[in-house]
């Protein structure tokens, strides 16, 4: 991080709607707080498996609450997440591995596209309720994000390379090392040590720890 700036890492997976909320809010605070924001695409499936965590909707009551919660959060955070009861099945039936490898490939080759590309994956899955697991869908997302056909094709070919697979595994392992058990995992490097914050509703607390003022989810 630059002199006096706090490095804040966001470990995320596009299958996670709460990750989208944290992503958008941190993007808004990037120029308000004295932080260097670093996007760390990781694989939620790997984190759940390694920690023995289970999706919240596995508990029916929690699933019911999550639907109401997400409606309120989407409005409060001004992020167009559209969630319905059948989304739980949709999540269970969708692997984000290809998408996260594609995003990782982009991070390795053209990191300037990381933000718009990630946003488009969330838009497609959580706003438009379209698939993000098939190559043609991934290419459609890339096109929406403003990537050339050539760049997208190259990234798609990289998905199966050991370099990309290893990078995604390493990033996921780093999130685990910091204590992550789900997504989003926000790690602030402050006062010589990493501080983990889990979820999109702890950014106020993050601000407090790093000495920054919280101005709500949509700071003007």
pLDDT for position 25: 98
In a domain, 49, yes or no: yes
| Position 215 in a domain | no
Look at residue 2 in the predicted model and tell me its pLDDT. Answer: 58
**Residue 219 belongs to some domain of the structure:** no
Look up the CATH number of the domain holding residue 42: 3.40.30.10
Domain boundaries, position 201 = 6-210
Tell me whether residue 59 is in a domain. Answer: yes
In a domain, 91, yes or no: yes
Q: Is residue 29 part of a domain?
A: yes
- For 7, 122, 132, the CA distances from 210, given in Å and listed in that order, are 10, 28, 36
* The total number of structural domains that make up the chain: 1
pTM for this prediction: 0.96
Q: C-alpha angle with apex 108: 102 to 109, nearest 5 degrees?
A: 90
Q: What's residue 58's pLDDT?
A: 81
Give the mean pLDDT per block of 10 residues along the chain (220 residues).
84 97 98 97 96 86 92 97 88 94 98 98 96 97 97 97 98 98 97 96 97 95
Instruction: Judge whether 219 and 29 are in contact, CB under 8 Å.
Output: yes
Give φ, ψ of 59 to 5 degrees: -100, 110
Active centre residues (catalytic): 16
Pick from 164, 159, 109: nearest CA to 135: 159
Residue 220 lies in a domain: no
CA atoms within 13 A on the CB side of 42: 29
């Amino acid at each position: 991080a630059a002199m006096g700036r706090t490095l804040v890492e966001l470990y995320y997976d596009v299958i996670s709607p709460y990750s989208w909320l944290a992503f958008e809010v941190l993007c808004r605070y990037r120029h308000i707080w004295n932080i260097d924001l670093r996007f760390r695409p990781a694989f939620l499936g790997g984190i759940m498996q390694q920690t023995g965590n289970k999706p919240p909707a596995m508990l029916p009551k929690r699933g019911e609450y999550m639907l109401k919660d997400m409606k309120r959060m989407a409005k409060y955070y001004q992020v167009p997440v559209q969630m319905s009861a059948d989304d739980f099945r949709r999540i269970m039936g969708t692997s984000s591995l290809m998408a996260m490898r594609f995003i990782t490939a982009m991070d390795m080759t053209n990191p300037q596209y990381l933000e718009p590309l990630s946003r488009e994956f969330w838009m497609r899955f959580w706003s438009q309720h379209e698939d993000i697991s098939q190559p043609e869908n991934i290419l459609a997302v890339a096109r929406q994000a403003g990537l050339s056909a050539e760049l997208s094709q190259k990234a798609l070919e990289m998905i199966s390379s050991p370099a990309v697979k290893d990078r995604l595994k390493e990033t996921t392992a780093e999130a685990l090392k910091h204590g992550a058990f789900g997504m989003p995992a926000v790690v602030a490097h402050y006062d010589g040590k990493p501080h983990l914050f889990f979820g999109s509703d702890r950014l106020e607390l993050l601000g407090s720890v790093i000495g920054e003022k919280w101005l709500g989810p949509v700071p003007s």
